[in-house]
Amino acid sequence: MGLLDFLQPKQTTNFDDNTIPAVSDALLTLEDIIAPSGIEINTRSINISGTYARTFFTVSYPRYLNDGWLEPILNIEKELDVSIAIHPIDTAETLKKFQKKVAEVQSQINIRAEQGMVRDPQLEAAWRNLEDLRDKLQQAEEKLFNVGLYVTIYGEDESVLNKTESEIKSILDSRLIHLKPALFQQEQGIKSVVPTCTDELLIHSKFNSEPLSSFFPFVSFDLTSDSGILYGINRHNSSLVLFDRYQLTNYNSVTFATSGAGKSYTTKLEILRSLMFGTEVIVIDPEREYEYLAEATGGRFFNISLSSSHHINPFDLPAPQTDENPEDILRSHMIEMMGMFRLMLGGLTPEEETIVDQAIKETYALKDITGSADFSNLEPPLLSDFEMVLAGMEGSGSLISRLQKYSSGTWAGFMNKPTNVDINQKFVVFSLRDMEDELKTVAMYIITNHIWSAIRRRLTKRLLVIDEAWWMMKSEDTASFLFMLAKRGRKYYLGISTITQDVDDFLRSPYGIPMITNSSLQLLMKQSPTAIDNIQQTFNLTDEEKFLLLESGVGEGIFFAGMKHVAIKVIASYTEDQIITSDPSQILQIKKARAELQANA
């Protein structure tokens, strides 16, 4: 017999030898498909297609119930269902019974007083409680309910059920709450627990509104807020992990995972959902994984390489705001450019730093850009202008020879031309897949600097995603610049999302730990055995959490928000999955389907 067969009655038809069922009666119904193949009902358990279940009901409660007393049961690492049946009681009828009960208790107190007996504190407390509850019922401050609490546990066999029963009973017994198995009523028990809104056990205790509120089932440790986007499902209790990074102390996040653990998939899902809430998103993409997402959402995709038509001039200056001093803007940008030249030229001696600093200042002066001038509408210089100024300075021979490959040599195609990219879009992706590995760190620094300049011009909610952030953590200059963004981004409504699979390289940087501490959100997904000890120490994980990360599947991990963290599973809808998937086989199928659609158009 299937589960749905005994959950609800069916009409039966008797056929004689000459009766042939109609074709519609012979077809499989939805109930036939989803129902289990058979059910065996025993005294203390029920076997549903090989899975054993046992239902319990509560028989007694303590005098007081604290909020969250159900939490240990809801969060226990066992498979179970909890059903709370609440039946309102008519207040008018209850008040009549209360009047009689109060009179009985009052009479007992008076009799004891007349007989000279020692007063009974328990009896007097009961009288005060009854009077107080009667007043609240009379004033409609409280209501009475018949409440049944039923728990069904599941296991592979009876021994598993017995072990789970022992654990749950020990937890509740410590709170003076006692369970009993539904002997000879397992069928009624399972019907009372499955989500059909039926209560066939009818084993109740009376509660007024205040203690009944402690039964509220969503008290388990979760990260559900009133606003934000859906990050995933809490693996412990299946609650939704809803969070808004822009309501935290800072808007930054870090994501650590091994290759193939689903970090890019998770990030693209967050981007897609953030765009729906009006957040502007900018992505630095080292592997061209976000191109289809940009295309599907109407964003802009810039392929940055030595031969591409997209260029960024590192000498671009942000336009000063009304509350900013142009001299401070120019000085700050010159300091950032000094870090860029240290990257490009393989380090600078103190003497070379002095020469470069002076050359940067004179290069801007060539275009009449000084701290005392309004340079917001002036054309910025190019790298070739800087090289020309540098050539006229004493002791610059070594610098020029190292710089020529960027200004006129093999690597001149990227940064020695005026900027022609516009990032004032809802969604912008910079791809660095075709950029040489030796230049990726420099390119990421220049792009990030350009993004930072644009962000300061216009205040709006933005998210900057830096995939494979270990490229920027390799150099102290790029790491310090990234850390500066993480610290200052909040003032400009900017959240920084750093993602990396090379955890050791990230943490080895002097700015690795500060980046984590300046990120209110952290997501740890599947980790390799070589990195897990470092991760455990950095995030103060328990051994259970450590093993959870080692055994996590794709899209699973631990989600941190402030001081709280939960085990999470990232889930996308079918439509979202088609847009954000990183699975090569799925991508090929999507491209094939699109090609066929275009051919038939």
Question: pLDDT tens digits, residue range 403-461?
Answer: 888 887 777 777 788 888 888 889 999 998 888 888 888 888 888 888 988 888 888 89
Q: What is the mean pLDDT of residues 90-104?
A: 72
pLDDT for 154 equals: 93
pLDDT for 438 equals: 82
* Domain boundaries, given as residue ranges, for the chain: 3-89+143-215, 248-303+424-559+567-601, 313-418
pLDDT for 404 equals: 84
Q: What are phi and psi of 561, to 5 degrees?
A: -140, 105
pLDDT for 89 equals: 85
Is the pLDDT assigned to residue 138 strictly greater than 70? Answer: no
pLDDT tens for each residue of 354-374: 998 999 999 988 888 887 777
* 284-298, 401-415, 473-487: the lowest-pLDDT one: 401-415
Q: Alpha-carbon distance 500 to 18, whole Å? A: 73
Tokens of 554: 């794709």
pLDDT for 3 equals: 45
Q: Alpha-carbon distance 512 to 477, whole Å? A: 13
Tokens of 276: 């729906």
CATH class, range 248-303+424-559+567-601: alpha beta
pLDDT for 28 equals: 75
Is the pLDDT assigned to residue 183 strictly greater than 90? Answer: yes
DSSP state of 206: E
* 157-171, 189-203, 429-443: the lowest-pLDDT one: 429-443
Of 331, 420, 311, 424, nearest in space to 375 by CA = 331
- Provide the mean pLDDT of the chain: 83
pLDDT band for position 223 (cuts 50, 70, 90)? low
CA dist list (Å): 186 to 46, 70, 146, 192:
6, 23, 21, 10
pLDDT tens for each residue of 43-52: 999 999 889 9
Greater confidence (44 vs 63) lies with 44
- Say what percent of the chain tops pLDDT 70: 91
pLDDT band for position 221 (cuts 50, 70, 90)? low
pLDDT for 25 equals: 55
Q: Alpha-carbon distance 326 to 375, whole Å? A: 8
Is the pLDDT assigned to residue 596 strictly greater than 90? Answer: no
Q: Alpha-carbon distance 566 to 558, whole Å? A: 6
Nearest-5° angle of CA 431, CA 494, CA 566?
90
Greater confidence (427 vs 502) lies with 427
pLDDT for 241 equals: 87
Is the pLDDT assigned to residue 530 strictly greater than 90? Answer: no
pLDDT for 254 equals: 92
- Say what percent of the chain tops pLDDT 90: 22
Is the pLDDT assigned to residue 96 strictly greater than 90? Answer: no
Nearest-5° angle of CA 321, CA 325, CA 328?
115
pLDDT for 184 equals: 92
Q: Does the domain at residues 313-418 carry the CATH identifier 1.10.8.730? A: yes
Contact 464, 495 (CB under 8 A): yes
* pTM higher than the cut 0.85: no
Long-range CB contact pairs, 545-552, < 8 A, 24+? 549/524, 549/525, 550/526, 552/261, 552/525, 552/526
Greater confidence (351 vs 2) lies with 351
Q: What is the mean pLDDT of residues 465-493?
A: 87
Q: What is the mean pLDDT of residues 378-386?
A: 87
CA dist list (Å): 338 to 357, 393, 460, 524, 592:
7, 17, 29, 35, 48
Is the pLDDT assigned to residue 160 strictly greater than 60? Answer: yes
